[in-house]
Structure 1
């Protein structure tokens, strides 16, 4: 897998940032954040990001995770906090992509791209689309 484009490693490219505390249980036998824990950290950040969106909530615009791609660039450690930057990537007619970057002590460690496929009755809701269009990941100028 090729290394992500340099702009994907810049937290300024992402409109939403969240700080998540790492846990001792996230560590592998070598003392690094393990792969399963990375997926859980990104899931927590993604759910928090979606809660900031006014048109996404219980019973509206439900979606299923169709694909998760995680790229490891460095090692994360406990007990340092993780900053996870997120935003919307590709936006289709019935799916959207959430792009995220995890940083620890300002160093980019992992990227995560998740494709969500809409399953709710409001999947073509223009208000939903307008809301997520406000949160794009953009290459900094």
Structure 2
């Protein structure tokens, strides 16, 4: 590790709203309910998807680089039930930058209370070849800035 002064980022506490700077408010839909009247687990995944797409698009779209990304992994920890109607606020945060992928974390909050946390890994690929590719340097710089300041 000679000469390397870069610190590893500690895993953020996704249960705390203060962890997040980027937010996506999502309206709960009547159709998101299951037979017990709870918001269904699949709906939570859709809420995370909205925040994930908003985060990555804000950072990487319209940068003049022909690269895309796809979801390789998603996990959700359900902490509290939710009921219709209302809104859930989804915080999104870049957690790790790999050679060909990024890891992002999410906190879902209803009325200020954490109801779920989630994480995902997105892999970058060339849409012409459908093969994974290393993150281009110009995008990596944007991601590194977000990781350092986000």
TM-score range, shorter chain: 0.7 to 0.9
In structure 2, the gaps of 5 or more residues are: 1-10, 128-132
When residues 19 and 137 of structure 1 are mapped into structure 2, their CA distance, relative to the original with a 3 A threshold, is farther
Residue 56 (structure 2) aligns with: 50
Residue 130 (structure 1) aligns with: 141
User: Is 1:18 the counterpart of 2:24 in the alignment?
Assistant: yes
- Which structure has more RCO (C-alpha within 8 Å, separation ≥ 6)? 1
Counterpart-to-counterpart distance in 1, 2:75 and 2:148:
16
In structure 1, the gaps of 5 or more residues are: none
Counterpart-to-counterpart distance in 2, 1:12 and 1:137:
16
Would you say the 8 A contact 1:61–1:128 is kept in 2? no
Would you say the 8 A contact 1:89–1:137 is kept in 2? no
Number of positions where the alignment pairs a residue of Structure 1 with one of Structure 2:
133
Would you say the 8 A contact 2:101–2:135 is kept in 1? no
**Runs of 4+ in structure 1 over 4 Å off:** none
1:49-89 C-alpha deviation (Å, 9 max, x unpaired)? 22222x33597431121111110111112111010000111
Counterpart-to-counterpart distance in 2, 1:68 and 1:22:
21
Post-superposition offset of 1:40:
0.8
Q: Equivalent of 1:95, from 86, 90, 101?
A: 101
Structure 1 stretch displaced more, 7-16 or 17-26: 7-16
1:91-112 C-alpha deviation (Å, 9 max, x unpaired)? 1111111111100000001111
When residues 6 and 73 of structure 1 are mapped into structure 2, their CA distance, relative to the original with a 3 A threshold, is farther
For the pair shown, which has the larger CA radius of gyration, 1 or 2? Answer: 2
When residues 62 and 16 of structure 1 are mapped into structure 2, their CA distance, relative to the original with a 3 A threshold, is same
TM-score normalised by length of structure 2 = 0.79
Matches within 5 A, 1:61-140: 61-120=67-126, 123-136=134-147
Counterpart-to-counterpart distance in 2, 1:136 and 1:85:
15
